[in-house]
A and B are shown apart, each in its own frame.
Chain A
Amino acid sequence: MRTTACILTLISGLVCATAAQAHSFPQHSSPHVGATLTTAPTQVEIWFDGEIEPVFSTLLVKNAAGKQVSIGKGKVSSANHVLLETTLPKALTAGTYSVYWSVIAHDGHHTEGHFAFTLK
């Protein structure tokens, strides 16, 4: 009888399903996290460990004053759905910049994070 109760409880948890919750985390980036650069980058790129949704994924770069310097909200590469990228202006001045990313994996789970790089 007790085993029956256990099985009933387990089965009640196994049947059916609705939405999903998985996650994507960065694998590497350019510039590297925490890097100190002597040449101004023209792009920031982040490669994730799973495919991400183009519509809901964003990549912003802000200067030390918190003002956005990247152009647009970033985009998922059309050729590679694990790559999130954004364009930087040519006249990027010396300073510390913060990169903010927010992605939705193909199966619906949201992850976000941020890191910095410095331009000398």
Chain B
Amino acid sequence: MNHISNLGQHLLVAFVLLLCCTGIASAHAIAGQRLFPSTLTFDDPGIGAELPIVFNHIHADGADQNDFDISVTKPITPNFSLIAGTDYLDAPGDNGPGTYGWGNFTIGGAWQVYVIPETESIASLSFTDSIGNSGSRSVRDDFSTYSPEFDFGQGFGMLHTAWLRPFAVSGAVSFDFPTDPTQPRVLNWGLSLQYSIPYLQNFVKYVGIGAPFNNMIPIIELPMQTCLDRGCYDQTTGYVAPGVIWVGHYVQWGVELEVPVNHRTGNSVGVLFGFDFYLDDIAPHSFGAPLFG
């Protein structure tokens, strides 16, 4: 009976997500002339069909940790998409048995709140459910976590100073609400500052940068977490992640360092490597297209 109740809860979440479908749209995170690449440490503000894969290696808690994160976004209407994802953790352990396995499975939905081409502004709202006990026994959490999230992007193309126009910022704010009352609630907040060489050469001034550098976007990301209660109140952890993202017609790839912002986060520098397949370009008439509208 309890299983049926849980199934009903998750189906209800999925059904509600499917119902909330209206109006505006764009593929990837594009607002006017601006393309916002998929950031490696938090969601981008677009809701187009995509398949991001991020590999993260870092030395933390006395051992190497390798985390392989994969998710997929499927448009249902032009301004609403479903999201599904999970991750695989491989932590060999320096002096003993390691930990490895799949994390909990996450599902959710994302709405394109606004796209303003004239001001290069874009934002989305999403809601995800990390389903308790849905991953490998050694890795999974035995509780679910509900996470509302707001993602935004803002280009600087309207500025009068030409060399500033390729700059853009993007960010994400989300809350994690675990169903286990002993677990803390967490505020996740991320910010990126990016300088688009494609934007510089296509819309501001061609400076003769050739392939492959003409498609690169140098970027600094700041993925941060602040604990809100239950024994860790007001404790903040996070990273500064400088790197570069290369944007193509069908795929982007990026590499970034992960530098801890404080001792509470850790003492080792990690590395992130990510691909994002633009499914709406790769399969524009099948998976990449909205089901309706």
Binding site for B on A (CB under 8 A): 1-6, 8-10, 12-23, 25-26, 28-29, 32-35, 49-50, 107-109, 111-115
Contact = CB atoms under 8 A, between A and B. Distances in A.
B20 interface: no
A22 B281 contact: yes
A35 B201 CA distance: 11
B249 interface: yes
Nearest to B162: A34
Contacts, number: 136
Contact of B289 (A9, A18, A35): A18
Contacts of B263: none
Among A5, A13, A14, A18, the most chain B Cβ lie within 10 Å of the Cβ of A13
Contacts of B28: 23
Given A1-B6, A6-B131, A13-B76, A33 B82 contact: no
Contact of A112 (B32, B132, B292): B32
Contacts of B82: 9-10, 12-13
A96 to B, nearest CB: 13
Interface of B: 3-4, 6-7, 10-11, 14, 18, 25-28, 30, 32-33, 35, 48, 72, 74-76, 78, 81-82, 84, 105, 107, 117, 131-134, 162, 198, 201-206, 249, 278, 280-281, 284-293
Contact of B84 (A4, A6, A17): A6
Nearest to B33: A113
A23 B28 CA distance: 9
A33 B203 contact: yes
A13 B26 CA distance: 18
Given A13-B84, A20-B288, A115 B14 contact: no
Nearest to A48: B249
Given A3-B105, A13-B291, A49-B249, 9 more contacts: A5-B10, A13-B84, A16-B291, A19-B289, A21-B27, A21-B78, A21-B280, A23-B27, A107-B285
